[in-house]
Each structure stands twice: as structure tokens, then as C-alpha cells.
């Protein structure tokens, strides 16, 4: 009986956690980063809309950590008040951040 109650409590906690994690993020960048992001995004959105968050998020950051800045952009619905871009928090976006900005900056494609 105790085991069933404990399992139910754990299941309820997991569901609550999933609901909280699935809510849209409203994290914002600094004013300087937002100015850079807006300019970059407006130039990028017509050519590479799926990659704009990766390119602009990683290149427009104050903390000099492009991988983290890119991942924040991927997991934020609307960055700096701009309309939401595709691939919000998608594994492909996170993978692209690591591939593009991991190590020592943009990777060189063969």
C-alpha cells in the first residue's frame, strides 16, 4: 500500500515537472545583445530561418560563451521581442549550437 502511494506521488511530481519544463521561456538578453540579435536576425531570417537562432544567438552575447547563448536562444520562444523563430528547443537546434559554436568558434565544413 505504501509503495503504491509513493509511486503515485513520484508520478505526480514527474508530471508537474514536465508541465513546468514545457512552458514557453521568456528569458531575455541584455540590451547590447538584443540590438545585435535584432540586426543579425533581420538579415538572416529570409535566407536561413532555421539557423538564425544558432547563428545570431551564438554571435550576439555578452558573456563570451557562444554555446550557452545559442542554447538560450534555441530554448526561448521570442528572443528580444522578435516573432518566434522555428526550432524552439528542438534537439536539432541544440545540436547545431554544439556543432557551430563548440570548441573554438564556428566549425569549418569540409
- pLDDT digits over 80-101, tens only? 877 776 654 667 888 888 888 8
Answer yes or no: is 7 within a domain.
no
Sign of the Cα torsion 18, 99, 58, 63 reads: positive
Helix and strand numbers (H, E) in the chain are 5, 0
Answer yes or no: is 17 within a domain.
no
Answer yes or no: is 54 within a domain.
yes
**How many domains does one find in the chain?**
1
pTM: 0.57
Answer yes or no: is 38 within a domain.
yes
Answer yes or no: is 23 within a domain.
no
Answer yes or no: is 41 within a domain.
yes
Answer yes or no: is 5 within a domain.
no
Residue 109 has pLDDT above 50, yes or no: no
**Nearest Cα to 107, choosing from 47, 72, 49, 66?**
66
What residue numbers bound the domain in which 86 lies? 31-101
Indicate the DSSP class of residue 73: H
Sign of the Cα torsion 46, 51, 57, 58 reads: negative
Dihedral, CA atoms, 36, 42, 48, 50, nearest 10 degrees? Answer: 70
Q: Which residue has the higher pLDDT, 108 or 55?
A: 55
Amino acid at each position: 500500500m505504501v509503495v503504491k502511494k509513493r509511486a503515485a506521488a513520484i508520478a505526480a511530481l514527474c508530471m508537474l515537472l514536465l508541465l513546468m519544463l514545457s512552458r514557453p521561456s521568456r528569458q531575455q538578453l541584455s540590451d547590447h545583445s538584443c540590438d545585435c540579435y535584432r540586426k543579425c536576425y533581420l538579415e538572416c531570417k529570409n535566407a536561413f530561418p532555421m539557423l538564425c537562432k544558432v547563428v545570431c544567438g551564438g554571435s550576439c552575447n555578452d558573456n563570451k560563451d557562444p554555446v550557452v547563448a545559442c542554447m538560450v536562444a534555441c530554448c526561448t520562444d521570442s528572443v528580444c521581442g522578435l516573432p518566434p523563430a522555428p526550432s524552439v528547443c528542438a534537439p536539432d537546434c541544440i545540436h547545431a549550437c554544439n556543432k557551430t559554436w563548440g570548441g573554438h568558434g564556428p566549425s569549418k565544413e569540409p
